[in-house]
């Protein structure tokens, strides 16, 4: 066991304690909102504030990761080798993630999905789609750089075990998404393991960033479609908005 330098230790504390604590606080606020209104809803203004805050948080995460990486001469932007194997491994990782998502979705009822925060956060306007696209880009770069890159390197150096370091990093990544609930956190943990495996085989964070972005785009589109259906069915089932036959 080796103790990393102060910047690396501070970065680990940020990932393992501060970000999960912030996510936990956000989760509690949403649960209180659900208990009061019996559903999770956000106004357009609320959604935009959330996306702006998320972009800022991801920018800070990337800057911290970049600065810490520079301290021990680790390069975040290493390109993968060009070849069929790299393409196959990248596409396979994306396919596995989508397959697992489909399997996890089959374990949730429509009632459960209606109460999930990801559906309440689904974009509803062009402006929100633009902000969400920026969030996806920032998350794909910042989170892969931080968790699959810098965090994994620090923990591998400290523990001497790449696999154990990947496991710990995946736990931190899942905890940072506490706002989404336990079922989603379990899938996010599996997602992180898949991304670590992809980085291991391709020796590049770029492939993980591409899979992360592609997966998020597909998942968000599917969620937005279903969320729109939920809103439509809620309006149609609202007695206050129904009309009596004349």
Low-confidence ranges of the chain (pLDDT < 70): 34, 36-40, 237-246
Q: Determine the Cα–Cα distance for residues 196 and 178; give it in Å rounded to an integer.
A: 20
- Give pLDDT, residue 244: 35
Q: Determine the Cα–Cα distance for residues 174 and 207; give it in Å rounded to an integer.
A: 20
- Give pLDDT, residue 182: 87
- The distance from CA 178 to its chain's CA centroid, rounded to whole angstroms, is 10
- Give pLDDT, residue 37: 60
- Give pLDDT, residue 88: 97
């Amino acid at each position: 066991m080796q103790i990393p330098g102060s910047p690396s230790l501070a970065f680990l504390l940020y990932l393992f304690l501060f970000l999960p604590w912030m996510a936990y606080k956000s989760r509690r606020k949403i649960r209180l909102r659900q208990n009061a209104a019996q559903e999770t809803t956000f106004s357009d203004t609320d959604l935009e504030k959330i996306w702006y805050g998320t972009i800022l948080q991801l920018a800070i995460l990337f800057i911290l990761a970049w600065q810490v990486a520079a301290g021990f001469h680790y390069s975040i932007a290493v390109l993968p080798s060009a070849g069929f194997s790299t393409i196959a491994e990248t596409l396979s990782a994306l396919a596995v993630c989508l397959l697992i998502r489909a399997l996890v979705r089959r374990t949730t009822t429509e009632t459960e999905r209606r109460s999930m925060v990801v559906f309440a956060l689904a974009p509803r306007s062009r402006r929100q789609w633009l902000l969400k696209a920026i969030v996806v880009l920032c998350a794909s770069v910042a989170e892969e750089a931080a968790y699959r890159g810098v965090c994994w390197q620090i923990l591998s150096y400290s523990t001497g075990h790449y696999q154990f370091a990947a496991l710990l990093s995946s736990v931190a990544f899942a905890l940072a998404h506490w706002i989404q609930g336990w079922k989603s956190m379990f899938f996010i943990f599996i997602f992180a393991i898949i991304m670590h495996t992809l980085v291991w085989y391709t020796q590049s964070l770029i492939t993980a960033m591409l899979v992360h972005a592609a997966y998020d785009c597909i998942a968000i589109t599917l969620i937005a479609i279903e969320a729109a259906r939920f809103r439509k069915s809620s309006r149609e089932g609202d007695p206050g908005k129904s009309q009596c036959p004349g």
